[in-house]
Amino acid sequence: MEKRRLGRTDLLVSKICLGTMTWGQQNTEAEGHAQMDYAFENGVNFLDTAELYPIPPKAETQGETERIIGTWMKARGNRDKVVLASKVVGRTANPWFRGGRPSKLVRADITDAVDKSLERLQTDYIDLYQIHWPDRAIPWGSNPTRVTGTARRHDDETPIEETLAVFDDLVKSGKIRHLGLSNESTWGVMRFIAEADKGTGPRIASLQNAYNLVNRTFEVNLAEACEREDVSLLAYSPLAQGYLTGKYDHGALPKGSRKELFDRLQRYEKPGAAQAFLAYNELARSFGLTPAIFASAFVCSRPFMTANIIGATTMAQLKEAVASAEVAWTEEMQAAVDNLHQKIGNPCP
Q: Which residues are catalytic?
A: 53
**242 close to 46: Cβ distance less than 8 angstroms:** no
Furthest C-alpha separation in the chain: 54
Q: How far is it, in rounded angstroms, from Cα 328 to Cα 234?
A: 20
Regarding beta strands 83-88 and 12-14, do their DSSP bridges make them parallel or antiparallel, or are they unpaired? Answer: unpaired
**48 close to 17: Cβ distance less than 8 angstroms:** yes
Q: What letters, b where the CB count within 10 A reaches 16 and e where it falls short, cover 130-146? A: bbbbbbbebeebbbeee
Q: How far is it, in rounded angstroms, from Cα 78 to Cα 68?
A: 14
